[in-house]
Amino acid sequence: MRIVWTSLIAVLCALLIVPTTGCTKVTQAQINSAVTDVANWAPVISSDATALLSDIASFNPSDAAAIQSAVNTINTDSAALTTACKQYLAAPSSSILTQISGLVSELATTDSQALLSVLQIKDANSQLIAKGILTTIATAVTILSGYLSSINVAVTPVVSTALRQLRPYADRGQLQMALVQAKQQGLAPQNLTLAEAGF
């Protein structure tokens, strides 16, 4: 399963680095496509969170407590995100799109806080497990934000800060491959570099 996720990350990172302009006209088809991609990623986040919840059961209680609440929130929000995306695709509305944006924002801030909380885990093996899974979630959440940005759904300053905290956990090599692919597909300007995209 993780091999599939790795290939998905390489493909989906393309939209993460597409710069947006507030004046670009976005079609309903583009919005639907972005929401579909968000919907496809939500179960990946949920699966990772569920796996981490299972691992947490074997952690020292104090280590588990450091991230238990955040992982519960990630799991709940990813399920709600799947539902909201399905609702939007069945009957598009601005209120549901706002709800989707809010859930992605919640995931970004919660995952950022969880990654910082992992530093409190004393057992090295438990810390490695938690950081590894949360890193996959961090990459997915950053991509989801990129999809929303591609349809001019802006994130709040708080979320922007959270995403900056998540970006060091993203795989730079995969992002570079994704940038090349994005340029080939006309999704990103030919002169765009990772540094200009915030990496």
Q: Which ranges of 57-123 would DSSP assign to H, the alpha helix?
A: 61-90, 94-117
Report whether pLDDT(186) > 90: no
76: pLDDT strictly greater than 90: yes
Confidence of residue 135 (pLDDT cuts 50, 70, 90): confident
CA 191 vs CA 30, 62, 120: distances in Å: 24, 48, 41
What's the whole-number mean pLDDT along residues 3-19? Answer: 36
Query: Mean pLDDT lowest for which of 19-23, 34-38, 52-56?
Result: 19-23
Q: Provide the 10 A C-beta neighbour count for residue 72.
A: 14
- Give the domain ranges of the chain: 27-171
Mean pLDDT within 159-163:
76
Bigger pLDDT: 145 or 46? 46
Which pLDDT belongs to residue 132?
Answer: 87
- Are 147 and 107 in contact, with CB atoms under 8 Å apart? no
Rounded CA separation 138/140 (Å):
5
> Residues 95, 128: contact at Cβ < 8 Å?
no
State whether CATH 1.20.120 applies to domain 27-171.
yes
* CA pseudo-torsion sign 50, 137, 181, 171: negative
Give me the percent of the chain exceeding a pLDDT of 70. Answer: 72
CB 142 within 8 A of CB 197: no
User: Phi first, then psi: what are they for 60, rounded to 5°?
Assistant: -60, 140
Q: What is the DSSP code (8-state) at residue 156?
A: P
